[in-house]
Structure 1
Amino acid sequence: MTRSDRTVSASDRTVTGPLRIEASVRTLARRLRPGDIAVIDVLDLDQKAAESLAARQPAAVINVRSSMSGRFPTGGPRVLLDAGVVLIDDAGSGIQGCADGAEAQIEGATVIVDGTAVAEGMRVDGEALAGLTDAASEGMRVQLATFSANALDHVEREADIILDGAGLPDVGIDMAGRQVVVVAAGYQHREQLKQIRSYLRDQRPIMIAIGDAADATLDLASAPHLIVGEVEGVGDQALRAADHVVLHEAHGGDAGQARVDALGVAHSTLESSLPSAALAILIAHSNGADVIVTVGVEGSLQDYLEAAHTDASGMFLARLQAGRAIVDAPALAQVYRHRYSPWTLVALVLSALVALGAAFWVTPGGREWMSQVFSSIAGWFGGA
């Protein structure tokens, strides 16, 4: 069944499709099909989570809680609206009792299953989103205070690794004087990789992938030299292609250890409360990288506030430590100019000469002049 089959025309604001219910947005995104109705339970839906859902082309997303609670402006609702996905917000937990795969119908902001209304929330459109954003802007001060407190906590607990790189593993990759690209599975990380393809082809930087981003790095750029983070969701091909893996199991567990052992991949482990992307930046910086290009990594204030608070403050400190070496991929895409190879320049010169010769040949005077030149050249060779 295609999306068009499952979704009734928007003229009556009615949407139909099977419910897909999952506690984890990451797991849910993997099993969504076009036209499904995704049921999530997320307070303050961030851009990254919304992008993973929108990429699967669901007909609608029903959030049990508020996608923008008012603590700060979140980017998730805008991502869904821009992708043409209907968003029903703050629908309540009742819908979670429905069977996964049950056929549902959304009429306005009401969700109906088997003829019974099981949930009703707010249907978020452009006007509603603008109102939510304005209201949420007032909560920024509180979030900034929390962000600052978490940053100070990181300084107290992780000062050695942030300032001196103490405890960072030896990954066996020479980064001194090199350019390094750190790829995280963040908002629009695939699009950002595509935007800097000419840079990647020209400079051939060292590629560091953060967890699941290793597959995108392999598909859109090149094999990652280093993978940092959890590897449970990383494909075998990307893991085998990496020169080294730094296991940073932020949520505990030893699934990653078992995988790399089974594949025979060179690896080390790292325990830290800093996010994996921050650790990757610190590894590149401590190993003498000249330039560190970040892909899918938080760069703006809203990005930091959308991320988990401890992750955001840790990333902020890592970027501060790397300082002038940090360049964000969107900025790089705007200023980088492709470097043409010598053979390309030779081909352009030859093409220009051929075009000039053709222009001379079509004019009577030019044709006569070229004939004289050819005769002279032929005479020289004949005389030799």
Structure 2
Amino acid sequence: MKPTPRRDTAPTEGEVSGPLRLETNARALLRRLRAGDVAVLDLMDLDSRTAEELIEARPAAVINTQRTLSGRYPAGGAAVLVGAGLRVVDEAGSAVMALADGTHVTVGADGVVSADGDELARGTVLSPESVGEEMLAAEEGLHVQLAAFAADAVDRVEAEAPLLLDAEGLPETGVDLSGKQVVVVAPGYRHKERLAALRPYLREHRPVIIAVSEAADSVVESAYPAAIVLGDVETVSERALKRASHISLHDPSGGDAGASRLDPLGLAHSRVVSTLGSADLAILLAHAGGAASIVTLGVPARLTELLETAAHDQTTGAAGTFLARLQASDRIIDAEALAVLYRHRYPWWVVAALLASAVLALGVAFWATPGGRPWFEDLWQTVGGWIGVA
């Protein structure tokens, strides 16, 4: 299990160094990134989820050729990286991508990237103060993103109405969801921490879990295997796949979604064809199956989260998530809210132990009073007479 990311730490001082890891695609970079590497991004407006995954890889520094926070909308990735104490060099320029992968570089506190004393690139080092100011300024652009989000929602309704309204095209999983409590776990921002906070609920109610793509590994690591795994399973572990009751493949772009992995393992599976996101389909699947409640974890819930997802993911956007949540609104519960409700609940044996200790303390205090000991002796004689031991 990966270590918990550092949070709210001071920015790194002095120079940091390590081998460059370059990929034009952020997902490809994350698969190759190792502790101590210098990660190079070519991405405008880093989202919170990708930033969290970068932190888990424990790079020495992060260099972005573009603006990590452009101001179009309050993308949360910059704040996540800086809050974890990582050095982030912003707007280092496209020339960085021409450097050889694996080149050992030094990243200075002034934003200079060098190798063997030669300057290779220069950018701006992000600070908590600069990111905070840019986040406030970026909020002014939310109305533009909101308009685009609304337009995408209309397009999604027109394209996916049969699925959204009548559940046409959803797979037959063989898993009984009727009247059950269901938890949909997606690999969203801080989903592992939120899954850990939900353990009291999982332990007490044993809900049916639908895991989206690589979130299946997070679920099985928490000792609660997913009944259904839905999405692209290319990076999902064999252990998580084999423990699922049903696997349903889905790639909104129409890709393989991991079918080439399942066939050699002899694992049966279904396939869903839809332009909606896999988490959206998981919610709709639980709703169509008659779930009594649907707890969403790692799925965007707030407006800012939906807008960030919409701007970051041009394939599925977040309008589908909004529509899926709207369809299942009478049964939807956000995991963060549920965790708060269960935070102060205790098992019955803890309550019994507290009551017993309270009674014992009261008895000792009464024993110490002038009339307490004679009263206990009389009580013992009376009870002993009843049971024949006095």
Question: TM (normalized to structure 1)?
Answer: 0.91
Q: Cα deviations across residues 114-161 of structure 1 (Å, max 9, x unaligned)?
A: 222111121111232234224423332222222122111111110010
CA contact (8 A) 1:68 1:74 kept: yes
Deviation at 1:381, TM superposition (A): 3.2
Structure 1 pair 255/134, CA: closer, same or farther in 2 (3 Å)?
A: closer
| Separation in 1, partners of 2:89, 2:217 | 32
Q: Which residue of 1 aligns with 2:69?
A: 68
Q: Give the SS at the match of 2:211.
A: strand
Distance 2:338 2:386 in 1: 54
CA separation in 2, counterparts of 1:43 and 1:63? Answer: 8
Q: Which residue does 1:371 correspond to in 2? A: 377
Shift, 1:311, TM fit: 2.5
Change in CA separation of 1:251 and 1:113 when aligned onto 2, cut-off 3 Å? farther
Report whether the alignment pairs 1:98 with 2:99.
yes
1:329 aligns with 2:335: yes
Q: Residues 136 and 116 (structure 1 numbering): CA distance in 2 closer, same or farther, change over 3 Å?
A: same
Change (3 A) 1:121 1:377: same
Q: Which shows bigger deviation, 263-272 or 26-35?
A: 26-35
Residue 163 of structure 2 aligns to a residue in which SS?
Answer: helix
Correspondence list, 1:33-72, <5 A: 33-72=34-73
Check the 8 A contact 2:12/2:85 in 1, yes or no.
no
Match of 1:224 in 2: 226
Question: Which residue number corresponds to residue 326 of structure 2?
Answer: 320
Q: Deviations over 1:170-221 (max 9, x none)?
A: 1111111211110000000011111111111111111010000000011125
Aligned to 2:283: 281
Shift of 1:383: 8.1
* Structure having the larger proportion of residues in helix: 1
Within the candidate set 253, 259, 262, 1:260 is matched to 262
The two structures, once aligned, show a CA RMSD in angstroms of: 2.2
Report the counterpart of residue 5 of structure 1 in structure 2. none
Q: Structure 1 CA distance, aligned partners of 2:369 and 2:26?
A: 69
101 and 149 in structure 1: CA distance in 2 versus 1, 3 angstrom threshold: same
Q: Shift of residue 348 of structure 1?
A: 4.1
SS state of the match for residue 39, structure 1?
strand
Deviation at 1:363, TM superposition (A): 4.2
Distance, in Å, in 1 between the alignment partners of 2:81 and 2:347 is 42
Contact 2:17 2:105 in 1 (8 A): yes
Q: Equivalent residue for 2:80?
A: 79
Q: Which amino acid aligns with 1:22?
A: E
1:172 aligned counterpart, secondary structure: coil
Aligned residue identity for 1:89: D
Aligned residues: 375
The SS at the match of 1:20 is strand
Instruction: Answer yes or no: is 1:236 the counterpart of 2:238.
Output: yes
Q: Secondary structure of the residue that 1:323 maps to in structure 2?
A: coil
Inter-CA distance 371–48: structure 2 relative to 1 (3 Å threshold)? same
The percentage of aligned residue pairs carrying the same residue is 49
Question: 1:57-99 deviations in whole A, cap 9, x for unaligned?
Answer: 2221101111122221100000001100011111112112222
Q: Does structure 2 retain, via aligned residues, the 8 Å contact 1:198–1:338?
A: no
**Matched-pair contact (CA < 8 Å) for 1:17–1:35:** yes
Q: 1:86 to 1:10 in 2, by over 3 A?
A: closer
Q: Which runs of 5+ in 1 are unaligned?
A: 1-8
Letter in 2 for 1:206: V
**Among candidates 161, 164, 167, match of residue 165 of structure 1:** 167
Corresponding residue number in structure 2 for 1:6:
none
CA distance in 1 between partners of 2:192 and 2:154 (Å): 33
- The alignment status of 1:129 with 2:131, answered yes or no, reads yes
For residues 112 and 202 of structure 1, the distance between their equivalents in structure 2, rounded to whole angstroms, comes to 55
**Structure-2 separation of matches of 1:182 and 1:10:** 37
